Structure 1
Amino acid sequence: MKEPPKPLHAKVESAYHIIGKKWVNLIIHVLMEGPKRFNELNAIIPVLSKRMLNERLKELEEYDILKRHVIPERPVRTEYTLTEKGKELGDALFHVEAWGMKWF
């Protein structure tokens, strides 16, 4: 059975719920540059613990904001890349970043 569409306030609240989580915006910002492996993300954002990075990546994957790609080479590598939905969010967050750079 298909769910009825969410009312406007629920959609807006869902969007703020996602981007309001600590580290989400910075992870998206870094992935706007292109695909990154877990260790690359961890090196670029060293103040973010591996546990929290893993948690946020899983959440963003559940929201279809990023995709996790397993590359079956030796050793096995995993890369994270933004989906179209994630890229659009990154574009929107760019304006927030510009506002922050101007006013803070």
Structure 2
Amino acid sequence: MADKHEQSLVGTWTKATASACADKYPATVIFSTGTYRGTRGPGQGMVWWDAGIYRLEDSKTLVVGTATDELVTYQFSLQADQFEFTDSESCHVIYRRA
């Protein structure tokens, strides 16, 4: 049975952050149970979150399998229609439920 935190991320999310540091994250990301797929926006190059696995360690810790297959841990917050995180380079990224 899926974790209750995982269920709340399932769905389609659109990036709301326009800063240059967030360009490496997909314009749209679709989370399914345990897997995700990122979609590039117009003119966007390679994305760090392309497709792979993810898991919620707890209600504030997201682990994502990146384009290099590295598992990267993010501290994040999740509300009903928005999630946000800050990466290791201090880039703050916000996604909104589509």
Tell whether the structures are fold-level matches, with TM greater than 0.5: no
TM-score (norm 1): 0.25
Q: Which has the higher helix share?
A: 1
Q: Which has the higher strand share?
A: 2
TM-score (norm 2): 0.26
Larger radius of gyration: 1
